[in-house]
Amino acid sequence: MVIAGIKSCATPAIEVLVRVSAASALDIAGYQRFSYSSWDDTGGTAESGGANDSGFYDRNRLNLTHSISSDNGLTVSGYYRIQDLAESYNDISVAGNFGTLSFGNTNTAGASIYTSVINNGDYLYRTGQTFAGVNGSPMATSSDAAAAMSATYASPNFNGLSFMVTYQDAGSAAATGNDATEMGVNYGGSMGDSSFSVHYLNNDIGDTTGTAGDEEERQQYGFDFNTGPFGFVFQREVASTKDTTGTETAEIKTNEYAVKYQATDAINVGVIKLASDDKLDTTNNPKLDQMVYAVNYVVFPGFRLQASHATFDYEGATNNEGSSTTVGLRVDF
């Protein structure tokens, strides 16, 4: 949608005019989603105490984008995303033959270079659970669209090879040691009717207070391979926490495997397996195994039905095993 001018014709005496220059035409897009989740588990006493094991959920997203191009090939773009009136994402980028400079909290290396199907929103699923000491996705600890502002450089594409570097400032309320640096490299290409991409990411985050002894290092790598109607995705993340002596106190390893299948033009199905554990925690020995079976059905362009069923088996301080079913309606605009 491009806003050029809007006039009110309620009465001849009243006129409302909104003008946006042609050089900075505003594009508006987004979606609304309403979903229902129901789950069953064996951990804790919440359900036996009368707590619901189901819930209604909504998500409302509005994306505003615009770009301006100069005669010498320089492109300046702006992006602003409003989500549920509680989260805001923004980005200002300058692109040219040198690559792209981005400023904001959206186009970070972690938000752009990854393969996680759970994180990218291909499917809608929810467990209704919180699992201590493990991660529910291999993106749970990256700087993907983080709240803190950052500056990012993305290189041009060199025959399929590209890289990104992000520096994230934790803000004036945080210690300087809590700033983050993230670097990633990606290589993609095609072979006949097949396409592929592989990536590697490294994220370093300092102590939250400068002396807390919770410095973190996160490494991610994975691949995405597509051939015909099939897609195969893998991603692994290793999230390490170190104390003031540099000794690792936690090392959460998370693997995600996914198979996607475009059954028809309207129906896409996926099977996702996630496994996460921290073998350094010898007290609780946390471990999570999770399976997700999901489907997207495009009823007609702009309107889709999303559904999934997830099973989980968690071992930790309080063991938990169960399943969750989610159904959602989504309208895109």
pLDDT digits (tens), the chain, 333 positions? 444 333 333 433 434 444 444 456 889 999 999 999 999 888 755 555 556 688 999 999 999 999 999 888 899 999 999 888 777 888 999 999 999 999 998 888 988 999 999 888 889 998 888 899 999 999 876 655 556 788 999 999 999 999 999 998 876 666 556 788 899 999 999 988 999 999 999 988 876 665 566 788 899 999 999 999 999 999 999 999 888 777 888 999 999 999 999 999 999 999 999 999 999 999 999 999 999 999 999 999 999 999 999 999 999 988 999 999 999 999 999
Chain position carrying tokens 């200002």 = 92
d(CA 298, CA 118): 19
Report the candidate in 293, 329, 285 with the shortest Cα–Cα distance to residue 311. 293
d(CA 274, CA 261): 18
Take residue 211 and report the two structure tokens written for it: 């002396």
The type of residue at 103 is: F
The pLDDT value recorded for residue 130 is 86
The pLDDT value recorded for residue 68 is 92
The type of residue at 292 is: V
Domains of the chain, CATH where assigned: 30-332 (2.40.160.10)
- Widest Cα–Cα separation across the chain: 77
**Long-range CB contacts (within 8 A, 24+) of 224-230:** 224/115, 224/196, 224/197, 224/198, 225/194, 225/195, 225/196, 226/194, 226/195, 226/196, 227/193, 227/194, 227/195, 228/193, 228/194, 229/261, 229/262, 229/263, 230/259, 230/260, 230/261, 230/262
CA-CA distances (angstroms) from residue 22 to 5, 80, 82, 92, 153?
11, 19, 24, 19, 28
* Whether the Cβ atoms of residue 241 and residue 266 lie closer than 8 Å to each other: no
d(CA 164, CA 154): 4
Report the candidate in 221, 201, 222 with the shortest Cα–Cα distance to residue 152. 201
* Whether the Cβ atoms of residue 295 and residue 310 lie closer than 8 Å to each other: no
The type of residue at 321 is: E
If one counts every other C-beta atom within 10 angstroms of the C-beta of residue 286, the result is 20
